[in-house]
A and B are shown apart, each in its own frame.
Chain A
Amino acid sequence: MSGPQELGLRFQGITKVYPGVVALKDVSLNISAGEVVGLIGENGAGKSTLMKILGGVITPTNGSISIDGKVCRGLTVAESQAAGIAFVHQELNTLDNLDVAANVFLGREKTHGRWRLIDRKAMRDAVQPLLDRVGAQFGPDTPVAALSLAEQQLLEIAKALSMDARLVIMDEPTSSLTFSETNNLLNVIADLKAQGIAVVFISHRLGEVEECVDRIVVLRDGRVAGHLARGEISHDAMIRLMIGRDLKSLYTPPKAPPGGPLLSVRNVRTQAKPANAANFELRRGEILGVAGLIGAGRTELAEAIFGAGGKLSGQVRVNGAPLDAGSPAEAIAAGLYLVPEDRKRTGLILEFPICENVTMANLRSCLRNGIVSRSRQIEISEQQRRNLSIKTPDVRNAAQAMSGGNQQKVVLAKWLSMDPKVIIFDEPTRGIDVGSKSEIYKLMRELSDRGVGVVMISSDMEEVIGVSDRIVVMRDGGISGELQRSDFSEHNILTLAVGKALEEA
């Protein structure tokens, strides 16, 4: 497979172990000059870990890397750069207060004279040919603030070229591009290839992967699940390799068949993903799973429904009553609660005592003679501590001293001490130990049996298949499909998540 001009980047048996998790297991990968390699896999398959090792950000636990015949255990950032490895990240790293040339030479500014003053002309002259190589329509002295996202991406690629990159790694480069911008980027990739530069293309958009790569490496659960040569590439083949593990059964069926609608979402569009509108309905007594790939707009939709911002249009009804929440306070008053994805940023005030966090949304219930009663706060928190078996010696301790699972229980305690009608769980078990996970699943089932609506956004296939009664799959802000329990499979979810229709079996 390796061509005549050997780039000589060789990963051999790379393993990366984090406490409790094996992120990568025995991954081997060769990349040759002028080759476009697609790297695909589910959320959490190990793609970003592998790329961080390439970039020198983290060191593998085991295995060897060889560059141009030199073998080493791991790379440093400097070694990675010296080897000609460059990144174009999903979140662009451009500084929009500087112009194009200054961004390209950031930290490596060309200077002249003994005072080392910036030599703008030399930088401009050096940047222009690079911009020509990536087909950019803007000049070196254009301010970055005036560039579109797609143009900033070209700038990043030009910057990579300025560092004599031999390998450019693109992480989800098309996720925020329009159709024609995407086509243009695919052309640029073809040009890079023609210039002998290798490209690793990471994307969830299988159509684009199919179009631009020479071969595909599929990761699954930290291992290489398979390779596809140019001729073997097809949607089905990719999806088959991305899934294919046995899922443990977590499922507990509901006590009663689903009742009437509790939450209905009609044509809700978000500022982040305005292209499609979301439509779904949650019925009493069911757990509705919301699946989709990272960046599908699930969190944005949840926050829009909750009134935390970003809602463009659409109607939400809770128990039949319209709710146009302009702030979380209004959603909470209507009984719609959100357990947010980032519990350290939006779920909790880490520095505050547990009992303050538990009662934060409902302090009025702790008033005695117009004064917030600490003993009442502790009483309510103790009750929740027993219900949820929160492990802490004292509810007056700061929330930051607890484990992730217990912190998540404190977020839940805040809502359960009130009167929930619908609770949206956004990635409820991310970074949580196995024991707490199953407790949270049990709790969700109890809630739904009690008549509380439960919506669970999850990127964890095992969880979404094992816990939900019904699944809606999101893509690009819209609902790309719905699955009943009998149709649950990783294959079906992934197929809908990448925007393909299910074939009738």
Chain B
Amino acid sequence: MQKKDLGLAILIIVVGAVVYLRNPLFLSPINLGNTANLVGLFGIFAIGQGFVIMTGGIDLSVGSVIALLGVLFVEMVGRYGVPWPAAVAITIALGAMIGLAHGILITRFKMQPFVVTLCGLLIYRGVARGYTAEATAGFPFGASYPQLEWLTIGRSYGIPHSFVAMIIIAAVMWFVLHQSVFGRHLYAVGKNDEAARFSGIRSGFVITSAYVICSVLAAVAAIYFAMFTKSVQPSSHGNFYELYAIAAAVLGGFSLRGGEGSIVGVVLGAVLLQELQNLVNLLGIPSSLNFAVMGTVILLGVLADQQLAAYRAKKRAAQAFERLQPEGAEN
């Protein structure tokens, strides 16, 4: 796991160096600040997706959740004058309820995660568009929320606060995934659900919690995106964001079969994705090729990683076989 993260970090540095040599603007404070902002925004919900992928599941509804909760947050604060701390709390609570619903449908009613969250993708997007009647939700002209803005789109020493928020969330989630009992149970359930259950781990609770974490982080991201874009266009806001999150997790070493991955990995995955976007812009590649570049890099990255893993497994098997020989002679 450690090695995987290191490899990804090296890849990020190498790509960065190449871009910098071709276009020194890459390391300019403005470019770094903007990229960090995007890394923060995308990283927050990619971490959540990581928890779901850890269980062997998937959450396709993230982008729609960001759109729906973004619309509701802007409406609450902008139109109905709900104090912003209350609006934040309500938004996060709604996120938790969405995640709980996904988790219960998947663990209690044994529905497939793909189906449940695909329906979620359609439903939340549809509700957002229906609620606004396709109109863009925005804050009233001239309105300002100094504290909220400082927290979300403010910067300290040039570092965007969205990035800081992502780092704080990542640190907390690092403890949850890598240091807590719950985290160990998550790995166990993801790797071998049956064996985990036979060891007394409540796999239904563990899986449901992962979906709650995912949707709560999507709700947090929804607030940050709403503040960043200042207005939410319900038919396009957050489109395909779930795929960015899945891509970041996969790049970061998560297996879609579950039981593998790390917080550092998914954060580095989010960094690499934004770096690639940035590369397309800075190197003058037509931005229409954006997705093609991203897809190619992910494909090659995962391919290389799996080939390496297969090679390592083969080597390990050979070593284990050698170790077995003297033991066999003993018996």
A: which residues have CB within 8 A of B?
Answer: 306, 308, 327-329, 331-333, 338, 340, 345-352, 356, 360-361, 363-364, 367, 370-372, 391, 401, 403, 414, 433-435
Q: Which residues does chain A contribute within 8 Å of B175, judged by CB atoms?
A: 371
What 4 new A-B contacts, CB under 8 Å, besides A327-B200, A349-B192, A435-B331? Answer: A345-B194, A346-B198, A401-B320, A414-B199
Give A343 Cβ to nearest chain B Cβ, in Å.
9
Say whether, besides A347-B198, A433-B331, A435-B331, A352 and B188 are in contact (CB < 8 Å): yes
Residue from the list A328, A372, A435 in contact with B181, Cβ < 8 A: A372
Residue from the list B179, B183, B200 in contact with A332, Cβ < 8 A: B200
Residue from the list A329, A350, A352, A401 in contact with B201, Cβ < 8 A: A329
24 residue pairs A–B, Cβ–Cβ below 8 Å: A329-B201, A332-B199, A338-B198, A345-B195, A346-B194, A346-B197, A347-B195, A347-B198, A348-B195, A349-B191, A349-B195, A350-B192, A351-B192, A360-B199, A361-B200, A361-B201, A364-B181, A371-B175, A371-B179, A372-B181, A372-B183, A401-B320, A401-B323, A434-B331
CA distance A372 to B180 in the complex (A): 6
Q: Which residues does chain A contribute within 8 Å of B185, judged by CB atoms?
A: 363
Contact between A363 and B184, CB atoms less than 8 A apart: yes
Q: Is the interface of B mostly helix, strand, loop or mixed?
A: helix
CA distance A364 to B259 in the complex (A): 20
Interface: B324 (CB within 8 A):
yes
Question: Which B151-205 residues have a C-beta within 8 angstroms of A?
Answer: 175, 179-181, 183-185, 187-188, 191-192, 194-202
Q: Which residues does chain B contribute within 8 Å of A360, judged by CB atoms?
A: 184, 188, 196, 199, 201
Q: Which residues does chain B contribute within 8 Å of A329, judged by CB atoms?
A: 200-202
CA distance A308 to B193 in the complex (A): 12
Say whether, besides A349-B191, A351-B259, A372-B181, A308 and B197 are in contact (CB < 8 Å): yes
CA distance A351 to B195 in the complex (A): 12
CA distance A331 to B197 in the complex (A): 11
CA distance A159 to B328 in the complex (A): 46
CA distance A403 to B201 in the complex (A): 26
Digitize B289-331: 1 where CB-to-A-CB distance is under 8 Å, 0 elsewhere. Answer: 0000000000000000000000000001000100110010001
Q: Which residues does chain A contribute within 8 Å of B201, judged by CB atoms?
A: 329, 360-361
Q: Which of A328, A345, A348, A403 has the most CB of B within 10 A?
A: A328
Residue from the list B179, B198, B323 in contact with A340, Cβ < 8 A: B198
Contact between A327 and B197, CB atoms less than 8 A apart: yes
Q: Which residues does chain B contribute within 8 Å of A350, judged by CB atoms?
A: 192
Residue from the list A361, A370, A371 in contact with B199, Cβ < 8 A: A361
Contact between B197 and A328, CB atoms less than 8 A apart: yes
Contact between A328 and B200, CB atoms less than 8 A apart: yes
Q: Which residues does chain A contribute within 8 Å of B327, judged by CB atoms?
A: 391, 403
B197 nearest CB neighbor, chain A only: A328
Give A301 Cβ to nearest chain B Cβ, in Å.
16
Give B180 Cβ to nearest chain A Cβ, in Å.
7
Digitize B195-229: 1 where CB-to-A-CB distance is under 8 Å, 0 elsewhere. Answer: 11111111000000000000000000000000000
Give A128 Cβ to nearest chain B Cβ, in Å.
39
Give the bracket for the number of chain B residues in contact with chain A.
20 to 34
A401 nearest CB neighbor, chain B only: B320
CA distance A360 to B185 in the complex (A): 8
B: which residues have CB within 8 A of A?
Answer: 175, 179-181, 183-185, 187-188, 191-192, 194-202, 259, 316, 320, 323-324, 327, 331
CA distance A357 to B199 in the complex (A): 9
Contact between B202 and A346, CB atoms less than 8 A apart: no
CA distance A272 to B262 in the complex (A): 40
CA distance A100 to B24 in the complex (A): 70
Say whether, besides A329-B200, A361-B200, A346 and B195 are in contact (CB < 8 Å): yes
Give A341 Cβ to nearest chain B Cβ, in Å.
11
Q: Which residues does chain A contribute within 8 Å of B331, judged by CB atoms?
A: 433-435
Q: Which residues does chain A contribute within 8 Å of B316, judged by CB atoms?
A: 401
Contact between A308 and B198, CB atoms less than 8 A apart: yes
CA distance A490 to B161 in the complex (A): 76
CA distance A306 to B316 in the complex (A): 36
Contact between A327 and B181, CB atoms less than 8 A apart: no
CA distance A349 to B185 in the complex (A): 12
B317 nearest CB neighbor, chain A only: A401
Q: Which residues does chain A contribute within 8 Å of B183, judged by CB atoms?
A: 372
CA distance A367 to B175 in the complex (A): 13
Give B84 Cβ to nearest chain A Cβ, in Å.
32
Contact between B179 and A372, CB atoms less than 8 A apart: yes
Q: Which residues does chain B contribute within 8 Å of A306, judged by CB atoms?
A: 198
Contact between A352 and B191, CB atoms less than 8 A apart: yes
Q: Which residues does chain B contribute within 8 Å of A372, judged by CB atoms?
A: 179-181, 183-184
Q: Which residues does chain A contribute within 8 Å of B184, judged by CB atoms?
A: 356, 360, 363, 372
Q: Which of A308, A329, A391, A414 has the most CB of B within 10 A?
A: A329
Give B187 Cβ to nearest chain A Cβ, in Å.
8
B331 nearest CB neighbor, chain A only: A433
Q: Which residues does chain B contribute within 8 Å of A351, judged by CB atoms?
A: 191-192, 259
CA distance A346 to B331 in the complex (A): 27
Give B254 Cβ to nearest chain A Cβ, in Å.
15
Give B39 Cβ to nearest chain A Cβ, in Å.
27
Contact between B181 and A349, CB atoms less than 8 A apart: no
Q: Which residues does chain A contribute within 8 Å of B191, judged by CB atoms?
A: 349, 351-352
CA distance A403 to B330 in the complex (A): 13
Q: Which residues does chain B contribute within 8 Å of A361, judged by CB atoms?
A: 199-201
Give A350 Cβ to nearest chain B Cβ, in Å.
8
A332 nearest CB neighbor, chain B only: B200
Contact between B198 and A328, CB atoms less than 8 A apart: yes
B185 nearest CB neighbor, chain A only: A363
CA distance A347 to B194 in the complex (A): 9
Q: Which of B179, B197, B199 has the most CB of A within 10 A?
A: B199
Give A391 Cβ to nearest chain B Cβ, in Å.
7
CA distance A308 to B323 in the complex (A): 36
Per CB-CB distance, the 3 closest pairs between chain A and chain B, nearest first, are A332-B200, A361-B199, A329-B200
Give A401 Cβ to nearest chain B Cβ, in Å.
5
CA distance A352 to B201 in the complex (A): 15
B192 nearest CB neighbor, chain A only: A349
CA distance A435 to B330 in the complex (A): 11
